[in-house]
Amino acid sequence: MPRLADVVTQTFRSISSEVLPERLFRDPLARWWQTSQERLVDSGYEGKVQGAFFIASFAAMGHTAKCDGRVKGVEIELATQVMDHLKLTSEQRQLAIRLFNEGKHENFALETLLWRFKRQCSHRVSVVQIFIEIQLKMAYADASLNEQESKLIKRMCKRLDVSESIYTRIERRVRAEKKVANQPLASAPKKAFSLTDAYKMLGLNRWANQSQVKQAYRRMMSKFHPDKLAARGATDVEVIEAHDIVYDIKHAYEMLVKAKRMR
């Protein structure tokens, strides 16, 4: 009976970048993770947090790209841009490509991958949020965020304890960056707002009176109005983000005005 380490080693040597045998996913992901970390260290890419981010990001990018059935050229291009941004060596790029291709497999153990990533990086909130940002950029690479991609990334957020408000903030930034770069971007479907969402948007509780609602609305509009942000030296991305935020502020206010029968 061959040892698991020997099986994994032989697998990495023999498979093509597009095909991953089922054997790997019947075995614990721990050995796969450890093998990837060892390869990273051998290539000069050190640090447990950095290594966990590398492995999780590229494997999850492959999974995100393939979740709607087909990996597109723009998604491969984005993965290449991430490699360029990280200034990977030739050896590290080959490992990143392998991780990406392994993540594409329909039986890929994403839940276990996220668990291992969270275990090593949950104390680094910014690292986890960058991971989600990269997955959203992959989902938006073809201009739109479809239902499968949205469900997948929200599942990642749930497993990594990323709140819905943080997810929304990251998504706004990703969309704003695409607009500033004049990249194709489909219109975002307007999200359903509940009264609870409306109160939260204005920083209020459900017992707020009419005066408090109006004060909160004016305060939020003053803080996020695009013209005022631009005058304060905000970036183009921040100004575009503000347009979406202001829309939500107005929508929240209108809901509360109606609910409280304000004049």
- pLDDT tens digits, one per residue of 55-68: 999 999 999 999 99
What is the tens place of the pLDDT at every residue in 177-229?
999 999 888 887 777 778 998 999 999 998 989 999 999 999 999 999 999 99
Query: How far is residue 203's CA from residue 120's CA, in Å, rounded to a whole number?
Result: 33
Residue 158 has pLDDT above 90, yes or no: yes
Radius of gyration of the chain (CA): 22
pLDDT at residue number 192:
74
Ordered structural domains, the chain, with CATH:
4-180 (no CATH), 195-259 (1.10.287.110)
pTM of the model: 0.81
Q: What is the mean pLDDT of residues 239-259?
A: 92
Query: How far is residue 258's CA from residue 263's CA, in Å, rounded to a whole number?
Result: 9
pLDDT at residue number 29:
80
More confident residue, 107 or 149: 149
Are the C-beta atoms of 60 and 104 separated by less than 8 Å?
A: no
Are the C-beta atoms of 242 and 169 separated by less than 8 Å?
A: no
DSSP state for residue 193 in the 8-state scheme: -
Q: What is the mean pLDDT of residues 8-28?
A: 48
pLDDT at residue number 10:
53
Amino acid making up residue 210: Q
More confident residue, 2 or 257: 257
Distance set, CA 176 to CA 104, 137, 157, 235 (Å): 28, 11, 20, 11
Helix (H) or strand (E) holding 216: helix 210-224
pLDDT band at 46 (very low <50, low <70, confident <90, very high): confident
Residue 81 has pLDDT above 80, yes or no: yes
Count CB atoms within 10 A of the CB of residue 218: 11
pLDDT band at 12 (very low <50, low <70, confident <90, very high): very low
pLDDT at residue number 11:
46
Residue 84 has pLDDT above 90, yes or no: yes
Name the residue with tokens 């509940």.
194
pLDDT at residue number 261:
78
